Homo-oligomer: A and B are copies of this chain.
Amino acid sequence: MYDHVKGVRDFYPGEMRARRRVIDSLEDVARRYGFREIGTPTIESAELYIDKSGEEIVEELYSFEDKGGRRLALTPELTPTVARMVVAKQQELTKPIKWFSTRPFWRYEQVQQGRYREFYQLNADIFGSSAPEADAEVLAYAADALSELGLEKEDFEFRVSHRDILGGLLESIDTRIDTTEAIRAVDKREKVETAEYYDLLEAAGLDRDDAREFNAVLSAGDVEEVRAFADSDRVDEAVSNLEAVLAAADEFGAGEYLTLSLDTARGFDYYTGVVFECFDSTGEVSRSVFGGGRYDDLIESVGGQPTPAVGVAPGLAPLSLLLERAGVRPDESYETDCYVLRVGDSEEVRRVAARITRDLRAGGGVTETDVSGRSFGAQMSYADSIGAETVVIVGEQDLAEDVVTVKDMASGDQERVPVEDFPDDT
């Protein structure tokens, strides 16, 4: 017997039905926002990641050489791929470009609750607008998508910050600080021991006193205090931009889901502006559910014209944990409108049952019929197991009187209806 590979999952029909309801809902809201679906490859040149992403990601790649000697990788995230696609048609594409897609990604990492080596995300991105309204629209989309899934205001929050607030703060302390490393340290703050956090800050170039002061300002979470502490144009502009995004998101109806959180950093190095992460308000789901932000330099870094960009990427597995916690995970039942039950094997019974099955399917109903030559009892039991709402019994005796028997499986009621009227069009 073969098993699936570690860190990937098989989804049987019940679980898949629940997942499909989540995907349909996320995609339906994305379409309403005017995001257009794209289709993207599973494999990219490994260089796309090795050149541009942090070493952290490279270590986690599923990379290999193909039979033509190309160094390839299974895509660990969508952003470099969509950036490549924007660059390839930069002249033709009308801005803003608003794209979405739902698909799997792969990272070779520790398997844990809500985290797999093969994982599914919807990505929604806007390219070509640096205005706060674009950030706000992405935030509003994410909040709307979660509401559509049945989550309420008290279930989740988006913690919103701006990368230049952290960068500018650090720069104002000492220009020799390695800000990339320091921001990575902040990103890990809630995941590691305090001592390790301070060690990471020290490794990035902050001495112990600066690190404590820096941390105190972050923890206070007051933008005016930040402005005063940094006293720099860079931080002023970042705070103003963040405030404009929050105001626009409020107009779009997403204000109630947003919390200012200066230490939200996001793990990727390519973020340049507003960044945000979605958290379970109860804290029961302890890690970030998903996140997003602005990455204005990425398109240029993969060879394109400077093009501002902002996006979000809800992942299905962590999102399922949140939906489960909030008691709104879609159910796993799948629908069967009708089972057409054949009694005996006479030519007329076969012909009428097949005709009724065809008509029901043509009318859009989920309809099954016997494909195993089974007894009445076995068919009735199967119809029950697939949750059929109605069973249509086609038998010789009934047909001699030009009727079929229609049984409601919930009530058990049954009635005989003229065969030529079944199914009627209504």
Contact = CB atoms under 8 A, between A and B. Distances in A.
Interface stretch (A129-137, A156-164, A200-208, A393-401): A129-137
Contacts of A137: 371
A36 B13 contact: yes
A361 B33 CA distance: 7
Instruction: Say how many copies of this protein the assembly contains.
Output: 2
Interface string A79-103: 0000011011100001110110000
Given A251-B351, A372-B133, A372-B134, A361 B32 contact: yes
Contacts of A72: 5
A38 B16 contact: yes
A1 interface: yes
Given A32-B367, A48-B2, A137-B371, A8 B253 contact: no
A280 interface: no
Contacts of A9: 39, 41
B386 A34 contact: yes
A37 B9 CA distance: 14
B118 A41 contact: yes
A314 to B, nearest CB: 17
Contacts of A304: 1
10 contacts: A1-B302, A5-B70, A12-B85, A16-B39, A34-B336, A64-B64, A96-B371, A128-B372, A144-B361, A253-B358
Interface of A: 1-6, 8-13, 15-17, 19-20, 29, 31-34, 36-45, 47-48, 62, 64-68, 70, 72, 74, 84-85, 87-89, 94-96, 98-99, 104, 106, 108, 118, 126, 128-129, 131, 133-134, 136-137, 144, 248, 251-253, 302-304, 334, 336, 350-351, 354, 357-358, 361, 364-368, 370-373, 382, 385-386
